[in-house]
């Protein structure tokens, strides 16, 4: 089976990465014949496909096709890899992946947006190797996110999407992030877990190193940067070492100054280094105190966006220039934060958040959860798996300041309470250093809020309610937030607010779907939010327009709540936000 992936593969004096991205062979399998026909051992090529990318916008007949489909590629084993520990790692496959290497079934993985890996060494051959992946992205009520939820008989005007998602973004399918093969020594570092603290001007960096079982060795850890270099060594007989490094006069990591140190880990025996791995480390703390969210002991206000990984043609596939562009747009507008709505974003994108100093609410793929008994156990198992995979992947990132367990679960239902008690407990046991939350649409009595360190609300007064009536919407927002704060006594982040605007559509006075209405709505919300001392964050929905399933509310197959279009051109609201947020920055 697949295993949890943590350290991002790298090349250095002990390790090497072979990136398998490129054009692969591809075929759709609408009759699901491939398994019985033994395509895992190889299939007749039909057409090329780009990896990584979704298949839906690469082929015009496949927009709504959710699988199964088959991918295969051939590669030559690099020189010097025999006798190494070799792993095959997928950054993200939506939704189900089954993997064969040279005809041997390596295993399967369920769930998109998170990395997984396999031990490849036993199946590799010198010379040419054949890798086959079957991908399937059907929507089903016992998957997470769920789809094709049985209609509620109490609902007399049932509203459906095509494809039948429990969320509005398009359920893109395919191999979405790089597939790499990487070699390490057999005797290797397998994980590093970094926790940082500040004591006055001193930074404490606690590192846990995990390694494969092996003979005694020496572990050396060093931290370098900002004019400092410190190192510690311990001798290691078991599989883990805990080491604390101290940085006097530390340069802490913050959004204003995203200072990073290089943490270098080395394993040696008899003075000879046999494995090494380096990691950027930001020394910072995150705490919730009373009504405030604190970074390094100072209150911080999040200004930014909910987003999607969504770009023309590539779908949900990694597009490095679009990643850079989106950070540039957020910067230009004056944002310091975003949420990885509604699933974890690529590791490549997260690396840039660490470097550029963005504060990230890191969300699991649990969007649209419902709590009917049927399939509930399975959905909980998947959510537990996602939390494990996400924390393993992102635990060392200074940019990640909050874990979000879900988006808009239907959590007024009784079953929700136990569900979130478990997920919250699991998350805290894996990472006691970060606050935990979830984004809710409910006005009150959300069963899940009991297990949140701060409250995240998605709000659309003046849009889905009070349509066309902005002033009424703003008044209701203000009351609603005060009520939520009075009930829970925790800081509040408004993780969504916004309006659809068709670019180029104008009106005065502002009417729904015009650029003016969107700009007025966002401005009014920002004014209300800036006045509430307990509001720790404001995230506009959305940075960019994004592709949706088809439904009556989504014009042209898109959610138009972006302040930028899908091809990243600003709407009026982007200019307006820029005035607000940049002006506020000057005051800070
Ligand atoms: C929400 C959802 C988000 C939707 C948004 C909308 O509450 O969390 O995924 O896109 O509303 O525009 O309806």
Residue 489 burial (CB count, 10 A): 10
Verify whether ligand 1 is closer than 6 Å to residue 541 (CB atom): yes
Determine the pLDDT at residue 9.
98
Q: How far is the CA of 107 from the centre of ligand 1 (A)?
A: 35
**Residue 284: C-alpha distances to residues 33, 195, 291, 292, 431 (Å):** 53, 9, 20, 16, 15
Residue 407, ligand 1, Cβ within 6 A? yes
The residues that are catalytic are 408, 496
Rg (CA), the chain: 24
Edge to edge, the sheet with strand 298-299 lists: 286-289, 292-295, 298-299
Ligand 1 atom with the smallest distance to the CA of 500 is 12
Is the CB–ligand 1 distance for residue 408 below 6 Å? Answer: yes
497 close to ligand 1 (CB < 6 Angstrom)? no
CA distance 93 to 111: 7
Question: By alpha-carbon position, which residue is closest to atom 13 of ligand 1?
Answer: 168
Give how far the C-alpha of residue 278 lies from the chain's centroid of Cα atoms, to the nearest Å.
22
Assign 507 to helix, strand or coil: coil
Of 8, 344, 406, 35, residue with least CA distance to 176: 344
Residue 457 Cα to ligand 1 middle (Å): 11
CA angle 55, 58, 62 (to 5 degrees): 65
Spell out the residues 6+ positions from residue 156 whose beta carbon is closer than 8 angstroms to its own: none
Q: Which tokens belong to 263?
A: 């943490």
Measured in Å, residue 3 CA sits from the centre of ligand 1 at 32
Contact yes or no for 456/493 (Cβ under 8 A): yes
pLDDT at residue number 588 = 47
**DSSP conformation class of 457:** E
Matching CATH topology for 189-281 and 289-587?
no
pLDDT in tens, 529-558: 999 999 999 999 999 999 999 999 999 999
| Residue to substitute in 458, 463, 521 for testing ligand 1 pocket (most ligand atoms within 8 angstroms of CB) | 458
Closest ligand 1 atom to Cα of 553: 13
- Domain borders along the chain are 3-137+173-184, 189-281, 289-587
**Both tokens of residue 366?**
């649990």
**Which atom of ligand 1 is the closest one to the Cα of 464?**
13
Ligand 1 centre to CA of 125 (Å) is 48
Sequence-ordered strand ranges (E) for 424-478: 436-440, 455-458
Q: Which atom of ligand 1 is nearest to the CA of 561?
A: 12
> How far, CA to CA in Å, does 314 sit from each of 92, 137, 447?
14, 16, 38
Helix (H), strand (E) at residue 561: none
Dist. CA 245–CA 240, nearest whole Å: 16
Beta bridge partners of 27: 70
Could you please state the CATH topology (level 3) that the domain comprising 3-137+173-184 is classified under: Jelly Rolls (2.60.120)
What are residue 87's DSSP bridge partners? 119, 182
Question: What CATH fold (topology level) applies to the domain 289-587?
Answer: TIM Barrel (3.20.20)
Among 161, 167, 168, say which to mutate for ligand 1: greatest number of ligand atoms within 8 Å of CB: 168
Closest residue (by CA) to atom 7 of ligand 1?
458
Three-state DSSP at 362 gives strand
Backbone angles phi, psi at 540, to 5 degrees: -70, 140
Ligand 1 nearest atom to the CA of residue 548, by list position: 10
How many helices and strands in the chain, by DSSP H and E?
A: 7, 34
| Distance from residue 518's CA to the centre of ligand 1 (Å) | 15
How many Cα atoms are found within 13 Å in the side-chain-facing hemisphere of 210? 8
CA of 475 to the centre of ligand 1 (A): 21
3-class secondary structure, 570: strand
Q: How many whole angstroms separate alpha carbon 253 and alpha carbon 355?
A: 10
Give the mean pLDDT per block of 10 residues along the chain (588 residues): 96 98 97 98 96 97 95 96 97 98 98 98 97 98 95 76 95 98 98 98 98 97 98 97 97 98 98 98 98 98 98 98 98 98 98 98 96 93 98 98 95 87 97 97 75 95 98 98 94 98 98 98 98 98 98 94 98 97 65
CATH of domain 189-281: 2.60.40.10
Give buried/exposed letters for 363-376 (b at 16+ CB in 10 A, else e). Answer: bbbbbbbbbeeebb
H/E stretch holding 381 reads helix 376-394
Q: How far apart are CA 206 and CA 197, in angstroms?
A: 8
Q: Is the CB of 441 under 6 A from ligand 1?
A: yes
């Amino acid at each position: 089976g697949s295993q949890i992936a943590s350290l991002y593969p790298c090349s250095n004096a002990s390790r090497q990465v072979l990136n398998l991205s490129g054009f692969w062979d591809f075929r759709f399998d609408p009759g699901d014949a491939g398994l019985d026909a033994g395509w895992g051992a190889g299939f007749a090529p039909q057409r090329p496909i780009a990896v990584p990318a979704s298949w839906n916008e690469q082929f015009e007949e496949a927009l709504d096709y959710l699988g199964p489909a088959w991918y295969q590629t051939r590669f030559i084993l690099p020189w010097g890899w025999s006798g190494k520990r070799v792993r095959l790692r997928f950054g993200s496959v939506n939704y189900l992946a089954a993997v064969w290497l040279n005809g041997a079934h390596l295993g399967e993985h369920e769930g998109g947006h998170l990395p997984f890996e396999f031990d490849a060494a036993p199946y590799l051959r010198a010379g040419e190797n054949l890798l086959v992946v079957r991908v399937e992205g059907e929507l089903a009520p016992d998957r997470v996110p769920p789809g094709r939820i049985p209609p509620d008989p109490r609902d007399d005007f049932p509203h459906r999407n095509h494809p039948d998602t429990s969320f509005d973004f398009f359920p893109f399918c395919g191999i979405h992030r790089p597939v790499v093969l990487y070699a390490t020594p057999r005797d290797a570092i397998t994980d590093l877990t970094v926790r940082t603290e500040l004591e006055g001007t001193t930074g404490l960096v606690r590192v846990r190193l995990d390694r494969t079982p092996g003979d005694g060795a020496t572990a050396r850890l060093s931290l370098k940067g900002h004019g400092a270099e410190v190192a510690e060594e311990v001798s290691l007989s078991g599989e883990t070492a805990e080491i604390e490094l101290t940085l006097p006069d530390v340069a802490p990591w913050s959004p204003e100054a995203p200072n990073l140190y290089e943490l270098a880990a080395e394993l040696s025996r008899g003075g000879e280094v046999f494995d090494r791995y380096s990691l950027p480390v930001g020394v910072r703390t995150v705490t919730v105190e009373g009504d405030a969210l604190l970074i390094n002991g100072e209150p911080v206000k999040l200004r930014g966006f909910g987003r999607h990984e969504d770009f023309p043609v590539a779908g949900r596939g990694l597009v490095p220039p679009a990643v850079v562009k989106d950070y540039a747009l957020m910067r230009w507008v004056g944002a310091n934060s975003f949420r990885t709505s509604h699933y974890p974003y690529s590791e490549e994108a997260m690396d840039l958040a660490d470097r550029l100093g963005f504060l990230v609410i890191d969300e699991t793929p649990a969007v649209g959860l419902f709590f009917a008994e049927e399939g509930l156990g399975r959905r909980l198992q998947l959510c537990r798996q996602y939390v494990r995979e996400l924390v393993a992947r992102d635990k060392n990132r200074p940019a990640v300041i909050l874990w979000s367990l879900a988006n808009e679960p239907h959590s007024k239902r009784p079953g929700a309470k136990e569900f979130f008690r478990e997920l919250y407990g699991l998350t805290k046991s894996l990472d006691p250093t970060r606050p935990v939350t979830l984004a809710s649409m409910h006005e009150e009595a959300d069963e899940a809020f009991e297990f949140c360190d701060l409250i995240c609300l998605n709000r659309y007064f003046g849009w889905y309610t009070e349509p066309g009536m902005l002033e009424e919407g703003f008044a209701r927002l203000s009351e609603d937030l005060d009520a939520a704060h009075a009930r829970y006594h925790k800081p509040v982040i408004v993780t969504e607010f916004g309006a659809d605007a068709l670019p180029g559509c104008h009106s005065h006075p502002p009417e729904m779907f015009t650029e003016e209405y969107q700009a007025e709505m966002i401005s009014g919300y920002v004014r209300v939010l800036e006045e509430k001392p307990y509001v720790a964050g404001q995230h506009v929905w959305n940075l960019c327009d994004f592709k949706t399933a088809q439904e009556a509310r989504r014009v042209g197959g898109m959610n138009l709540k972006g302040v930028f279009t899908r091809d990243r051109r600003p709407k009026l609201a982007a200019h307006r936000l820029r005035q607000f947020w940049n002006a506020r920055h000057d005051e800070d």
